Chains A and B, each alone.
Chain A
Amino acid sequence: DSGVTQTPKHLITATGQRVTLRCSPRSGDLSVYWYQQSLDQGLQFLIQYYNGEERAKGNILERFSAQQFPDLHSELNLSSLELGDSALYFCASSVMRDSYEQYFGPGTRLTVT
């Protein structure tokens, strides 16, 4: 157990809908990262937050947004969902802004039908 929690574990929804994925980092970790992993694909970095502020952006679609709250938990919002958005979404955390070791949560499996 990495100490990073993600909810829900599974999510099934229809095209065009909007969902919110939640992540709670390890106690004391200030950075949160979001990744998308499609079936049999690698990890695509989406976005990073540090202590409530956006720090880095990867290949995140405009339909996706995220935020980190004062209690350091983070939410990833996915809207106008398409079939291709079906994937495993991981959250990871690390203690520092520019630190290196990342601890991954168990992931949320999103299925868009």
Chain B
Amino acid sequence: GENVEQHPSTLSVQEGDSAVIKCTYSDSASNYFPWYKQELGKRPQLIIDIRSNVGEKKDQRIAVTLNKTAKHFSLHITETQPEDSAVYFCAAEMNSGGYQKVTFGTGTKLQVIP
């Protein structure tokens, strides 16, 4: 089955600096890669996603890059703000025999220091 590894598990940055979170996946059939942000005690919320036919996608201060050959994708947050502090999860999804399978990474706890 699919295996998603996420690094680092914790990340502290100074406000205004950039943060990068990386994920690797094992199954080349995965074709959709969402990123979720989960604030303490709250639900995960989709913040950005990328499909396997796209290499990069940007939404204001957030960007995601995908390298299909190397099977890795990354989340980039620029000009970090204290409200960016949360746990971020990556995921890899594939369609397998008519079933959509999703595998989440283990999460990265991001702390933005004011």
Contact residues of A with B, CB < 8 Å? Answer: 2, 33, 41-45, 48, 55-56, 58, 90, 97-107
Asked if residues B102 and A33 are in contact (CB atoms below 8 Å), the reply is yes
Closest 7 CB pairs of A and B: A104-B43, A56-B99, A42-B106, A43-B104, A100-B32, A98-B100, A42-B107
Closest Cβ–Cβ distance, residue A33 to chain B (whole Å): 7
- Chain B: interface secondary structure? strand
Q: Which of B43, B93, B98, B99 gathers the greatest number of chain A CB atoms within 10 Å?
A: B43
Using CB atoms, name the residue of chain B closest to A94: B100
Return the contact of B46 from the options A101, A105, A106 (Cβ within 8 A).
A101
Asked if residues A90 and B46 are in contact (CB atoms below 8 Å), the reply is no
Query: Please, could you name 12 A-B residue pairs with CB atoms under 8 Å apart, sorted by A?
Result: A33-B102, A42-B104, A42-B106, A43-B89, A44-B104, A45-B102, A55-B100, A56-B99, A102-B46, A104-B43, A106-B43, A107-B43
Closest Cβ–Cβ distance, residue B45 to chain A (whole Å): 7
Chain B residues positioned under 8 Å from A100 (CB to CB): 32, 34, 49, 51, 93, 100
Distance A97 CA – B97 CA, assembled complex (angstroms): 13
Chain A residues positioned under 8 Å from B104 (CB to CB): 42-45
Distance A48 CA – B45 CA, assembled complex (angstroms): 18
Asked if residues B44 and A43 are in contact (CB atoms below 8 Å), the reply is yes
**Contacts A55-B100, A56-B101, A107-B43 hold; do A98 and B49 have CB atoms under 8 A apart?**
no
Closest Cβ–Cβ distance, residue A64 to chain B (whole Å): 18
Distance A58 CA – B93 CA, assembled complex (angstroms): 13
Per-position binary interface string of chain B over residues 25-54, scored 1 when its CB falls under 8 Å from any chain A CB and 0 otherwise:
000000010101000001111100101000
Distance A48 CA – B100 CA, assembled complex (angstroms): 9
Closest Cβ–Cβ distance, residue B49 to chain A (whole Å): 7
Asked if residues B100 and A101 are in contact (CB atoms below 8 Å), the reply is no
